[in-house]
Amino acid sequence: MMTTIGVLLFVVGLAFSIWFHELGHFFWARRFRMRVTQFMVGFGPTLWSKRIGETEHGVKVIPLGGYIRIVGMMPPGEDDLAGRRVGRIRQLVEEVRGASLLDVRPDDGDRVFYRKPWWQRVVVMSAGPAHNLVLAFILFTIILVGFGIPTPTRTVEAVSECVLPATAAVEATCATPVNATGALCETGPDCALPVAAPAREAGFRDGDEILAVDGRAVDDWSAVQAVIRGSPNEELSVTVRRGGEEQTLRVTPLPNQVRTSADPEDTEVVTVGFLGLSPVQVYVPQPVTSVPGQVGAFIVVAAEKLIGIPERIPQLVRAAFLGEQRDINGPIGIVGVGRISGETFGLPAEQAPLQEKFIFFLGLLASLNMVLFLFNLVPLYPLDGGHVAGALWEKARSVLARVRRKPDPGPFDTARLMPVAYVVASVFIVLSGLLLVADIVNPITLDQLQ
């Protein structure tokens, strides 16, 4: 039941994000007196629609996007093409142009898109992605300021049973023999059960509050961790508070190999001290002034991921059709994200409280809106960024013509970019289909992300 709720919540969040994106275009188009005939969420057959004023508002079957139809998105072409032989591409361009101009009425006057000043067109086409950025900013603010970020405390939440190296196999447990590299084994000189965690042997218990290490008071978990990691094979005295009383435990951290970063592709490891303690984490609300910096850092990471998609396509193909393990840093489709949302809400309460599930869901929705913001700003037609680039180019060549004392070349002919639009749309459709197959036959699961 909770899994279904998680999936439905994501679908609703996705639909709202699309609607809010299109609302940005719609609001400013109406603000500049452009005539808008349709405001649709989704593609394909219409599920529901209602005419409000001069605009038809509705919902369509496929929730993978949306659109508003502004009259006159493409300017008229040449008037002297009758009887002339034109190529197939030019014929296609003129057919699309003609279909676009069919919506223009004699009384529209300057309400058509192409007759508006270049800056108004930039505002209208930028408003959709800007709305996604605003929504992402709001969601991140709710997470950071309203709930906070997980912060480890000095209190022990769990004590490990054994020591497994960072290079250990996924299937390795405290009850499975492994060799020095962490690989599962049955025989061999270095094949044995993992050694017991020093903290377990020293008598640490869940709920212990660490007060000092080697006589030095510690204020937070990072201070505790710094001493432990820097003291392999060195005996330490650790003062803890247990049941209202202070006790001193003596323990020697074992040398253990850990990765130098959280990036799964970074295989570099270093040797540090290990006890086998996990801290209790609490959510600490952040000041609102920290939100812009956090959002800015996320934009940089998201942009890098978006730019890196093409080089990850071959691995995605192998994962979808050849059974290769899915790259958790690779692209994931709407179905995959919905699945993760469902898995999150399906976790038992003792493993993930409802608050943590809700925070994770808000993070998914914020990430989705950030991707929509960045993706739609790519300067390729028919994306919003392509329209913006066309309007800016129109202004640039107008200024250049004025400097050269030549006539203004007029509106930029976006119809000539239709071949590019078809290529971009085809790539998007193929990638969406590939992600759909991969998300079904070889999905990224919540366990892989943790």
What is the domain-level CATH number for residue 181?
Answer: 2.30.42.10
- What number of CA atoms fall less than 13 Å from residue 134's CA on the CB side? 11
Whether 338 and 409 have beta carbons less than 8 Å apart is answered as: no
CA distance 307 to 399: 32
Q: Is 60 left (phi over 0), alpha (psi -120 to 50) or beta?
A: beta
Does residue 184 lie in a domain region? yes
Task: Look at residues 105, 122, 106 and name the one whose alpha carbon lies nearest to residue 32.
Answer: 122
Angle at 269 between CA 264 and CA 272, to 5 degrees: 125
> Could you say which of 22, 157, 265, 350 is catalytic?
22
CA distance 200 to 196: 7
Tokens of 370: 């950030």
Does residue 42 lie in a domain region? no
Does residue 256 lie in a domain region? yes
State the sign of the Cα–Cα–Cα–Cα dihedral 113, 114, 118, 122: positive
Residues of the chain with pLDDT under 70: 78-87, 166, 260-267, 448, 450
- What number of CA atoms fall less than 13 Å from residue 418's CA on the CB side? 18
Task: Give the domain extent around 180.
Answer: 150-284
Provide the number of structural domains found in the chain. Answer: 1
pLDDT at residue 261, as a whole number:
64
Question: Is 22 known to be catalytic?
Answer: yes
Does residue 267 lie in a domain region? yes
pLDDT at residue 163, as a whole number:
81
Residue with tokens 């079904």: 440
Does residue 59 lie in a domain region? no
From the CA atom positions of the chain, what is the Rg in Å?
A: 29
Does residue 97 lie in a domain region? no
pLDDT at residue 411, as a whole number:
82
Does residue 25 lie in a domain region? no
The three-state secondary structure class of 57 is strand
